[in-house]
A and B are shown apart, each in its own frame.
Chain A
Amino acid sequence: AQTVTQSQPEMSVQEAETVTLSCTYDTSESDYYLFWYKQPPSRQMILVIRQEAYKQQNATENRFSVNFQKAAKSFSLKISDSQLGDAAMYFCAYRYNAGNMLTFGGGTRLMVKP
């Protein structure tokens, strides 16, 4: 069974600084996707970024980028120029491409200090 681990229950960052959230996963599959979801206090689940396992290039979406290390099964999220609106729970998730289930990590609560 696949597992996803987020080892940092809480993180904090100063506004305008950069922060990296960690995620590791375990799978025996080779064709899969990885995601980072943001959950603000409104509790809506918002897709931040996704990474296809077959792509070596790290995904980037504006201030959000990932460091995907397939051999190490690591998938960290970097947030640059942090803003107050980035404060939220962040979930790392895995999905086998031919499967239906998203497997989530336990989440990291990010606080942004003004």
Chain B
Amino acid sequence: EAQVTQNPRYLITVTGKKLTVTCSQNMNHEYMSWYRQDPGLGLRQIYYSMNVEVTDKGDVPEGYKVSRKEKRNFPLILESPSPNQTSLYFCASSPRTGKFTTNYGYTFGSGTRLTVV
């Protein structure tokens, strides 16, 4: 089954304790992204990657790191989590888009509810 798998589904941690949320896709997609969802704000992009070893900042990158060493994996790292990073996080992937391709949007993982106390 074509899917984006992210883990864990729920995570409670303390301020300052480094954590990693994993994301993997099995569709051979070039593009991968991380979003955070907060009430009234919709989803906002944290970081994205257009291919292996190519990553860039989205709208809200502060406090986050990513890496793309393999095409299928795109982990999100919080080096020193703070309470304002309490949120619902989504990983998503998409095929490359462009003038001669069909844009099907992103396929999303099932989300990670992170609470930082």
Contacts and interface: CB of A to CB of B under 8 A. Distances in A.
A95 B105 contact: yes
Contacts of A31: 99
Interface class of chain A by DSSP: loop
Interface residues of A, number: 27
Interface in A14-64: 31, 33, 35, 37, 42-45, 47, 50, 52
Contacts, number: 68
B43 A104 contact: yes
Contacts of B35: 102, 104
Interface stretch (B12-20, B76-84, B106-114): B106-114
B74 interface: no
Counting chain B residues whose Cβ lies within 8 A of the other chain, the interface size class is 20 to 34
A12 interface: no
Contacts of A71: none
A39 B108 CA distance: 11
B110 to A, nearest CB: 5
A85 interface: no
B26 interface: no
B103 A33 contact: yes
A52 B59 CA distance: 24
Interface of A: 4, 6, 9, 31, 33, 35, 37, 42-45, 47, 50, 52, 91, 93, 95, 97-102, 104-107
Given A45-B111, A91-B42, A107-B42, 8 more contacts: A9-B40, A44-B108, A44-B111, A47-B105, A97-B97, A101-B33, A104-B42, A104-B43
